[in-house]
Amino acid sequence: MTVSSLRALVVDDSATIRNFVTATLEHAGYEVMTAKSGLEALKVLPSASFHLIVTDVNMPDINGLDLVRYVRNSGTHKSTPLIIISTDGRERDRDRGMALGASAYLVKPFLPETLIELAKKVTAPGANVAPQMAAPVKKS
């Protein structure tokens, strides 16, 4: 399966981050759908198949961790690779997301290349959906 045949769902309540992640994945050849909230994502998920889900943690209605829990318990998207993006890089929060079944945890801010590399890694044929952690971009 080529990257251009992969469909991603990007879930974030911040239009700026949602647009950044969408543009990054589209530039890499992904077809991207978006949701502005966890609740909206729950409505979108049954209507399409996705090869990747990227979600923020902190959202006003259904947070990203609850979304991860829902996805991992769903029949349709149970094995879909899922990347959590968050401003919170504390080990406790990362471990909680990974324990719920996230494939990777990416701390904001991050470079577009980091997201693309991580997305390719977790969606590669035969990829082990074992937890991956990407470090935040160092501010100079």
Question: Residue 139 falls within a domain, yes or no?
Answer: no
Q: Which amino acid is at 87?
A: T
pLDDT band for 130, please (50, 70, 90 cuts). Answer: very low
Here the CATH number for the domain that contains residue 89 is: 3.40.50.2300
For the chain, the domain total comes to 1
Average pLDDT estimate for 54-59: 94
- H/E stretch holding 9 reads strand 7-11
What's the alpha-carbon Rg for the chain, to the nearest Å?
Answer: 13
pTM of the shown model:
0.87
Q: In this structure, how many other beta carbons lie within 10 angstroms of the beta carbon of residue 2?
A: 6
* Parent domain of 17: 3-134
DSSP-derived letter for residue 4 is G
